[in-house]
Structure 1
Amino acid sequence: MATELLSPLIPHQQRRRALAVVVAAPLHALLLAAVAFSRSPVAAPASSSRLVDLTLLAGARGKGAVCLDGTPPGYHLRRGFGSGAHNWLVFLEGGGWCNTTQSCSERKMTNFGSSKYMGAVNFTGILSNDHTENPDFYNWNTVVIRYCDGASFAGDAEGGDLDGTKLFFRGLRIWKAVVDELMGKGMDAAKQALLTGCSAGSLAALLHCDNFHGRFPHEVSVKCLSDAGFFIDEKDLSGERSMRSLISGVVHLQNVKEVLPNDCLQKKDPTECFFPAELIKGITTPTFILNSDYDSWQIRNILAPNGSYPGQEWSSCKADIRNCSCAQLDVLHGFKKKLVSELKVAEDNKDWGLFIDSCFTHCQTPFDITWNSPISPRLGNKQSISEAVGDWYFDRRQNAKQIDCEYPCNPTCSSLLPTA
């Protein structure tokens, strides 16, 4: 069965299951099931030229590089052609995290914890092989690495499932083993390479950016692109740090310390070092940060994880930003300021790029409508996301940093708002 890469990349057949999980266990399943409430644009219906079959990692069990349930992880590879035959784009699938034995046990019964539930994937947006939709990367070797560990491809541990079987937290081994296999399939001869991802996969791209760069000779152009992965460590409306609490569970349950920056670990708790604001301080590879400063997922799950607070009703506002009162918009503007302030490191780095729009959405590169279409979000000189990323990657512009004004200033965001 084919799947779409939906924000945050929970395929169609899992959406109903995800809804059941969030009803049964709303706190610890929050990030796994968040897509059920996302109104981000959905990719176009699949066509045969877009579908790419699943390849299971060879010798996965012998390498200990397995999904939560012990099955081999998988990836989808579409070969490049023409001028892109020696260029590689690697996309890390997203889909939240699991931070407890219970949430990981539930996750292993989905395609986010087992390859038993994976199928072919529909390549759209930055993954498309259509020149009109994806002019800069359409003919590159394109890979989607499936996400089945629950810790942004970062953990290395194991634990006990609720039913007495093992849970395998092997995201780091999956990352290493799949990249090794791709190198053996021609990526070692790459002339240009781009590591990217969406949501939790975008966080993974930041975690592994320098490691990916280090796999190639110095003369190879290697860069990274983070799409909707700039999660911030912000208090929610009740004053609690629910996001930090959840991430702390991921960090300690799955043992992610090996991928965290040493400079940060010497000064701060590993949980803080897992957040992008700390990660970008140590990344030396040129990186492009694409994010909404009114990210719909973060507003719904970090800022306002509950629908109601004393004297405040947020269900309608967080479902559709057009329903927000002036007072609520002031709160959202504060969230934007916090996010932009944490991007200062990237803003000051001449080799980095920024496209921070004010659209109420989450994940924009895997979808034709947001990546490159007549109604894509546009900033500054009216560049689309595709144009901005391409200009940055190929050094076609000197200044590749753009930060949008406050909502609702950008009329190109209107087509992305929920309609119901």
Structure 2
Amino acid sequence: MSIFQLRRTGLLNHSLLNEDQVMVRKSLQSACRGRPRVRSCQCWTIATVLAALWLYLSFGLWVYYFRDIGDVRLVSRNIEAHLVVLPQDLADETGAYCLDGSPPAYYFRNATSREHHNSWIIHLMGGAWCYDNAQCAHRSSTHLGSSRKLRPKKLFGGILSSSSKVNPDFYDWNVAVVNNCDGASFSGDREDPVISNKKKMYYRGSRVLNAVINYLLKSAGLQRADRVILHGESAGGLAVLLHADRVSRMVPKETSFKAMADGGFFLADEADTSGKTQWKSAMENVYKMQQIEGGLDKDCLLAKEKNKSECFFAQHAYSYLTSPVFVVNSVYDSWTLQNILRTRCRPSKCNEKDLGVIEKHRRTFLQRMDQVNRYDKNGMFLASCYAHILTCVDSPWMTYKVAGRTTREAFADWYYERTTPAETWDVDCDSSLTCNPTCRSN
């Protein structure tokens, strides 16, 4: 038995100790004989110094992470969000399944101030799409098709960060990050499951979105929300443009509701370097395969009666969106250049043929984006950076600038109406592919 263990017994009577314990205690007493005793005042002095040092270090760490200003706690570090998986019986009741049949899930982090106790950011995750049954079968075995593959905790950046240094305007809000597990921008609505590669799959992304929002309303406090931002990136950004009005109708009527779509404005009518519109054909196949019609805007479907699949593309769905929305995109979106235009070079290093395709894309993109200017309630931030996501990653959120404002400043100014409508349409320089010095190397 060690000294520490003996001392923890709290026993003073030898009769209550076994023989080994008595021998240990006697040896300790013998070892202490002849040593000068430390005066009690010296002990108190040492203890006081150690306590003061401990308090100093603890207070220093506390100050580093938190500072109280009025009613708001400023958090200087990012905090992980925790995974919430919807109950299986709820998934069974609503038919809201991920591709593999698992329940929907989201990551959640509570607000860190009383001021924004009822302020919410609901984020729709990206992750591209699966264009046929075989791809969806593969996807169903990953975190993009199953809630069973998700980590219990996760950090998020940019507008989803809880760091006041990174995200000064929204760091202390409630955050719910909805997992993308359907491969169709939360739009699939197919009743019967599909078998592919011996895997049963469910194309139910529209029901997944409904189930998560309803669960947040009933179980997480969303029903008391006074502010809601629906946000998404990439395929989730497209989902925002497709479903913002639906989510707006689900939250309380008195709630201030606005949306932001980051890197989700993909064009339907662009040819790649071979002259083919392969991505458009692939997305039309997703539309048919997942029976997406039921999950799209009814007014758009009525107007596009002869070609309803157009309502699955941002450039067509946008004009039917009534919710206030802020569009963030790069004119030289790296995912678009690589996967839709099929270029295999950074813009500054492309050959003449690829540069021609890229410049044509820029002109077409700006023409399609001009419709944002027709709505005073909406805004946009279009950078000339070779990048895909600008609002969920710390660096572009904090440092990329257009018209003298960073991404986060432009959005916050629009959201809090600190600028006029005309001042919220930020379009980057067009003199060259490297005209914006705040971009990482193009």
Q: Report the TM range for the smaller structure's normalisation.
A: 0.7 to 0.9
Which whole-Å CA distance do the structure 2 matches of 1:48 and 1:350 have between them? 36
Residues 1:293 and 2:331 are matched in the alignment: yes
Aligned to 1:369: 395
Instruction: Give unmatched runs, 5+ long, in structure 2.
Output: 1-75
1:253-402 maps to which residues of 2 (within 5 A)? 253-266=289-302, 267=304, 268-304=306-342, 314-315=343-344, 317=345, 320-326=346-352, 328-372=354-398, 376-380=399-403, 382-398=404-420, 399-402=423-426
Residues 1:74 and 2:126 are matched in the alignment: no
1:377 counterpart letter in structure 2: Y
Which whole-Å CA distance do the structure 2 matches of 1:109 and 1:261 have between them? 30
Which whole-Å CA distance do the structure 2 matches of 1:215 and 1:115 have between them? 24
8 Å contact kept, 2:144–2:180:
yes
Which whole-Å CA distance do the structure 2 matches of 1:286 and 1:125 have between them? 21
Which whole-Å CA distance do the structure 2 matches of 1:247 and 1:263 have between them? 21
Which whole-Å CA distance do the structure 1 matches of 2:138 and 2:338 have between them? 22
Which whole-Å CA distance do the structure 1 matches of 2:206 and 2:358 have between them? 35
Instruction: Give unmatched runs, 5+ long, in structure 1.
Output: 1-46, 305-313
Which whole-Å CA distance do the structure 2 matches of 1:226 and 1:416 have between them? 24
**Percent sequence identity over matched residues?**
36
Aligned to 1:8: none
1:282 counterpart letter in structure 2: Y
Aligned to 2:217: 183
8 Å contact kept, 1:260–1:270:
no
Q: Could you say if the C-alpha distance between residues 416 and 152 of structure 1 is closer, same or farther in structure 2, counting changes exceeding 3 Å?
A: farther
Aligned to 2:95: 64
Deviations 1:358-398 (A, max 9, x none): 000001111111111xxx21011x11000000010110111
Q: 1:416 Cα deviation (Å)?
A: 5.3
Residues 1:195 and 2:217 are matched in the alignment: no
8 Å contact kept, 2:397–2:408:
yes
Residues 1:146 and 2:179 are matched in the alignment: yes
Q: 1:328 Cα deviation (Å)?
A: 3.3
Q: 1:48 Cα deviation (Å)?
A: 8.7
Query: TM-score, normalising length from structure 2?
Result: 0.77
1:244 maps to which of 242, 265, 280: 280
Q: Secondary structure at the match of 2:162?
A: coil
Q: Secondary structure at the match of 1:338?
A: helix
By relative contact order (CA 8 Å, sep 6+), the higher-ranking structure is 1
8 Å contact kept, 1:77–1:141:
yes
1:211 counterpart letter in structure 2: R
Q: 1:49 Cα deviation (Å)?
A: 4.6
8 Å contact kept, 1:232–1:276:
yes
Instruction: State the number of aligned residues.
Output: 354
Q: 1:335 Cα deviation (Å)?
A: 0.3
Aligned to 1:128: 161
Aligned to 1:21: none
Residues 1:111 and 2:143 are matched in the alignment: yes
Residues 1:101 and 2:130 are matched in the alignment: no
8 Å contact kept, 2:238–2:314:
yes
1:162-241 maps to which residues of 2 (within 5 A)? 162-184=196-218, 185-233=220-268, 234-241=270-277
8 Å contact kept, 1:230–1:276:
yes
Deviations 1:11-54 (A, max 9, x none): xxxxxxxxxxxxxxxxxxxxxxxxxxxxxxxxxxxx99522221
Aligned to 2:83: 54
Q: 1:327 Cα deviation (Å)?
A: 5.0
Q: CA RMSD in A?
A: 1.7
Q: Secondary structure at the match of 2:196?
A: coil
8 Å contact kept, 1:206–1:276:
yes
Which whole-Å CA distance do the structure 2 matches of 1:111 and 1:217 have between them? 31
8 Å contact kept, 2:258–2:325:
yes
Q: Secondary structure at the match of 1:182?
A: helix
8 Å contact kept, 1:198–1:228:
yes
Q: 1:237 Cα deviation (Å)?
A: 1.9
8 Å contact kept, 2:137–2:199:
no
Which whole-Å CA distance do the structure 2 matches of 1:329 and 1:411 have between them? 20
1:16-55 maps to which residues of 2 (within 5 A)? 49-55=78-84
Deviations 1:212-238 (A, max 9, x none): 111234432100100000000111122
Q: 1:330 Cα deviation (Å)?
A: 3.5
Moved over 4 A (4+): none
Q: 1:61 Cα deviation (Å)?
A: 2.4
8 Å contact kept, 2:128–2:183:
yes
Which whole-Å CA distance do the structure 2 matches of 1:153 and 1:194 have between them? 17
8 Å contact kept, 2:129–2:185:
yes
